[in-house]
């Protein structure tokens, strides 16, 4: 069991872990790739570097983590839950900790399908592990095509009568359960007024559904936050001045929280979240 698991190995995540490790706590960083910095050609506005490329700055961060012997693994996080402790699920493993910092960068834009937003919480869900039970013996859909969608579908296959995976025009690339059915046509709109009734495909075919689980791309910061009941507004995780969410022991830092999307801010957030998670752990003892 770790004291703190940091989700994301960008500037916010690494900075948080540096403080946690130096406080002699047991920390694990899980990140799936280089995040925003990997896409950044030149950085000229970050303290101490007149000019540096994003990948170079990223490597400096990794070097710092390695020098402190911080455990850092490259896996994709697909789930987050909270019982007596936090459980982080990746495509390969499950990890436990007493606190979690979400630092997985800017949540991607949500998919724009007419009527989808209106039916959130009324048939449209972002968390299979939380809501699968409500769809026992029903027909449900999962919107997505990668490992995150596969994981959500996996939670549903043993509970629902049928699980249809809507890849919205893409080829399925996740490791899907053989029991799922794929529909590759794009979704035109979501059907239902007070509750979801189904979806209409671009060819005007209507498919009746009791539930539709959104699992596009990888699990974003807000997907993970919503799974655990943390407040999300305008696609950002709501935190207080301690970078603490409304869920005890759950912190968030960097681009996934409100404010400017800059490295300096991500590092500052990581510092606060790191220090506050240390205080939280010490209070538990
Ligand atoms: C093209 C471009 C140019 C930019 N130029 C500048 C600049 O000049 N100056 C500046 O200050 N800022 C710049 N930025 C912004 C800056 O890169 C970000 O503000 C900063 O990287 C945010 O840090 P972060 O740690 O919050 O997120 P990120 O750096 O995005 O890191 C997110 C981490 O989360 C991980 N992750 C995400 N989802 C999952 C998952 N499901 N499972 C596991 N891991 C996951 C990623 O792999 C990554 O490790 C630029 C951004 C872009 C895209």
What is the per-residue DSSP string for 137-148?
TSEEEEE--SHH
- C-alpha 198/C-alpha 212 separation (Å) is 8
2-108+219-284 homologous superfamily: FAD/NAD(P)-binding domain (3.50.50.60)
Among the atoms of ligand 1, which is closest to the Cα of residue 219? 41
When pLDDT is cut at 50, 70 and 90, the band that residue 126 belongs to is confident
- The per-residue pLDDT for 172 is 94
- C-alpha 252/C-alpha 247 separation (Å) is 11
When pLDDT is cut at 50, 70 and 90, the band that residue 110 belongs to is low
Q: Is the CB of 91 under 6 A from ligand 1?
A: no
- The per-residue pLDDT for 174 is 87
Is the Cβ–Cβ distance between 189 and 200 less than 8 Å?
A: yes
Q: Is the CB of 262 under 6 A from ligand 1?
A: yes
| Rounded mean pLDDT, 153-171 | 95
For residue 109, pLDDT beyond 70: no
| Rounded mean pLDDT, 49-61 | 95
Closest CA to 103 of 88, 85, 120, 121: 88
The DSSP element (H or E) to which 250 belongs, if any, is: strand 250-252
User: Where would I find the beta strands (DSSP E) of 52-113?
Assistant: 71-74, 77-82, 86-90, 94-102
Tell me, in angstroms, the distance from the centre of ligand 1 to residue 258's CA: 14
- The per-residue pLDDT for 41 is 84
Is the Cβ–Cβ distance between 180 and 165 less than 8 Å?
A: yes
Tell me, in angstroms, the distance from the centre of ligand 1 to residue 233's CA: 19
Q: What is the DSSP string of 169-209?
A: TS---S---TT-EEE-SPEEEEE-SSS--EEEETTS-EEE-
Q: What is this structure's pTM?
A: 0.87
Is the Cβ–Cβ distance between 258 and 249 less than 8 Å?
A: no
Tell me, in angstroms, the distance from the centre of ligand 1 to residue 261's CA: 8
Among the atoms of ligand 1, which is closest to the Cα of residue 263? 11
- C-alpha 254/C-alpha 3 separation (Å) is 21
Helix residue ranges per DSSP H, 30-188: 54-67, 128-131, 147-157
Is the Cβ–Cβ distance between 212 and 131 less than 8 Å?
A: no
Mutation to probe ligand 1, out of 60, 76, 101, 105 (largest number of atoms < 8 A from CB): 105
Q: Is the CB of 155 under 6 A from ligand 1?
A: no
Tell me, in angstroms, the distance from the centre of ligand 1 to residue 105's CA: 5
For residue 259, pLDDT beyond 70: yes
| Rounded mean pLDDT, 175-193 | 96
- The per-residue pLDDT for 108 is 66
Give the β-pairing of 94-102 and 86-90: antiparallel
DSSP assignment, residue 67?
A: H
The DSSP element (H or E) to which 28 belongs, if any, is: strand 27-31
Q: Is the CB of 32 under 6 A from ligand 1?
A: yes
**Which residue is closest in CA terms to ligand 1's atom 31?**
10
For residue 187, pLDDT beyond 90: yes
Q: What is the mean pLDDT of the chain?
A: 94
- The per-residue pLDDT for 13 is 98
- The per-residue pLDDT for 9 is 98
Tell me, in angstroms, the distance from the centre of ligand 1 to residue 112's CA: 23
pLDDT tens digits, 14-48: 999 999 999 999 999 999 999 999 988 888 899 99
Domain ranges in the chain with CATH number 3.50.50.60:
2-108+219-284, 117-214
Is the Cβ–Cβ distance between 168 and 186 less than 8 Å?
A: yes
For residue 177, pLDDT beyond 80: yes
Domain covering 117-214 in this structure, CATH number: 3.50.50.60
pLDDT tens digits, 189-205: 999 999 999 999 999 99
Taking CA 91 as the corner, what is the angle to CA 87 and CA 97, rounded to the nearest 5 degrees?
20
- The per-residue pLDDT for 107 is 73
For residue 63, pLDDT beyond 60: yes
Closest CA to 16 of 282, 192, 270, 194: 270
Is the Cβ–Cβ distance between 11 and 254 less than 8 Å?
A: yes
**Which residue is closest in CA terms to ligand 1's atom 12?**
262
């Amino acid at each position: 069991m770790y004291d703190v698991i940091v989700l994301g190995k960008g500037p916010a995540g690494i900075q948080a872990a540096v403080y946690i490790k130096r406080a002699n706590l047991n920390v694990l960083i899980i990140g799936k790739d280089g995040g925003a910095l990997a896409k950044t050609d030149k950085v000229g506005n970050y303290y101490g570097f007149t000019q540096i490329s994003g990948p170079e700055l990223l490597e400096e961060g990794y070097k710092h983590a390695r020098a402190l012997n911080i455990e850092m693994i490259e896996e994709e996080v697909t789930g987050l839950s909270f019982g007596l402790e936090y459980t982080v699920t990746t495509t390969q493993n499950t990890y436990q900790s007493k606190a979690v910092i979400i630092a997985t960068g800017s949540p991607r834009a949500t998919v724009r399908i007419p009527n989808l937003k209106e039916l959130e919480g009324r048939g449209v869900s972002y968390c299979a592990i939380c809501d699968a039970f409500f769809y026992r013996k029903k027909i449900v859909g999962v919107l997505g095509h990668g490992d995150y969608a596969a994981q959500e579908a996996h939670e549903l296959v043993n509970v629902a009568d049928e699980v249809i995976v809507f890849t919205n025009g893409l080829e399925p690339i996740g490791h899907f359960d053989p029991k799922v059915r794929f529909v590759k046509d794009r979704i035109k709109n979501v059907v239902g007024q007070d509750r979801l009734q189904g979806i209409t495909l671009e060819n005007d075919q209507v498919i009746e559904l009791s539930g539709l689980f959104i699992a596009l791309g990888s699990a974003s910061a807000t997907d993970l936050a919503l799974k655990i009941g943390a407040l999300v507004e305008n696609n950002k995780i709501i935190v207080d001045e301690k970078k603490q969410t409304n869920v005890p022991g759950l912190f968030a830092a960097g681009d996934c929280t409100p404010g400017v999307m800059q490295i300096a801010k991500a590092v500052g957030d990581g510092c606060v979240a790191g220090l506050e998670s240390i205080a939280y752990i010490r209070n538990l003892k």
